[in-house]
Amino acid sequence: MSEANPMQGVIPYLAMAGRAGEACEFYAQAFGATEMGRMPVPDDETRLMHAQVKINDGCLMMTDHGGEAATPSTSFGHLQLVVGDGRAWWDRALAAGCQVLAPYERQFWGDDWGLLQDPFGLRWAILQTGSQD
């Protein structure tokens, strides 16, 4: 079986208000992200024109473009991670500094699910389908 290609499907591309590098590091700690690359702004190497991480075999792209006034928006909903070990993912994200918006627990539809918010204002759902007790 070949490795999943994270560069397919829909890839969220987020304006991080000057915090893309910090976000890459946080997502490694909170969600086990692996960095796929960074491209600094040519005339300001402290800012990132592009950053990319891989989380759960999917890709997340970010930029510092948009200036300090830009903030990530939670009005779009959330980023959902469907994983086989939801409690471990949940606990790691909490330990890294995410805040609980909806507790991770068995839902009426039969899956375990919870909603977190990271320090950048983005919402993340952890979902384990058909989870075992």
How does pLDDT run across 64-122, given as a tens digit for each residue? Answer: 876 555 555 545 678 989 999 999 999 999 999 999 999 999 999 899 999 999 999 89
Same domain, 1 and 65: yes
Cα dist from 21 to 2, 3, 40, 72, 92, whole Å: 30, 26, 10, 14, 20
- φ, ψ dihedrals at 47, nearest 5°: -115, 150
Q: What is the pLDDT of residue 6?
A: 74
Q: Which of 29, 44, 69 is the last residue of a domain?
A: 69
As for how many domains the chain has, the answer is: 2
Task: Indicate the pTM of the whole model.
Answer: 0.80
Range of the structural domain that residue 98 is part of: 73-133
Q: What is the pLDDT of residues 25-59, one digit of tens each?
A: 999 999 999 999 999 998 998 999 999 999 999 99
Q: What is the pLDDT of residue 1?
A: 44
130 by Cβ neighbours in 10 Å (0-12 / 13-18 / 19+) ranks as exposed
CA distance 113 to 124: 10
CA distance 114 to 87: 10
- φ, ψ dihedrals at 24, nearest 5°: -55, -45
Q: What is the CATH number of the domain that holds 101?
A: 3.30.720.110
CA distance 59 to 35: 10
Instruction: Determine how β-strand 79-82 pairs with β-strand 123-128.
Output: parallel
Same domain, 4 and 63: yes
Q: How many CB atoms lie within 10 A of CB 118?
A: 20
Q: What is the pLDDT of residue 70?
A: 52
